[in-house]
Amino acid sequence: MQDFVLPHDPRWSNLYHAEATAIRAALPGMEIILHHIGSTAIPGIRAKPVIDMLGEVTELRALEDRNGALMALGYEALGAHGIAGRRYFLKADGAGRRTHHLHVYATGDPHVARHIAFRDYLRQHPGRAAEYDRLKARLTRGGVSSREAYQSGKAPFIARIEAEALAWSRRK
């Protein structure tokens, strides 16, 4: 389980930019705003080596009509995948290891603000980012047996920081 979360790799930003460019090229004429989110977007903290991306589109149905273009890039279209209002796409490498997650919402969906605020807050508050990094280290060294247990172990911290981040974002 220790290898499942790695020290921050500055190449993650380049991987995001390359994939965002490929997605935009695969969806000509469609307005999609892409953001690098998740732990790989926060310098200095450990992360699963999977690039999380957030997309904003004016209409989800228009994106669904173009699922084939994303599938041609290697994505699997998984629909809402448990979150109403989201369209989730997963990309894996030839060995079946996840490389990218694409979460797409309609512009203005509250999940967009939540994800962006969390990322920006941790980027601007290195003490909180370090706290998150220490939690991840503790969870992965402490014998966490599955991704689900790891996610559950992070959930209280994420909920607390997300509330702080949203309040902080509204004050900016």
Report residue 89: phi and psi, to 5°: -130, 140
42-83 confidence digits (pLDDT tens): 999 999 999 999 999 999 999 999 999 999 999 999 999 999
8-52 confidence digits (pLDDT tens): 999 999 999 999 999 999 999 999 999 999 999 999 999 999 999
What end-to-end distance do the CA atoms of the chain give, in Å? 38
Q: What is the mean pLDDT of the chain?
A: 94
CA distances from 109 to 35, 39, 58, 151, 154 (A): 14, 21, 10, 23, 24
Q: Where are the beta strands (DSSP E) in 62-140?
A: 75-77, 86-92, 98-106
- Residue 172 CA to residue 167 CA, distance in Å, equals 9
Q: Domain range holding 46?
A: 2-171
Average pLDDT over every residue of 88-106 = 96
Domain CATH for 157? 3.30.460.10
CB atoms within 10 A of CB 109: 17
Look at the chain and report how many structural domains it folds into.
Answer: 1
* Residue 2 pLDDT > 60: no
> 150 with 4: CB under 8 angstroms?
yes
The sign of the torsion formed by the CA atoms of 8, 11, 13, 16 equals negative
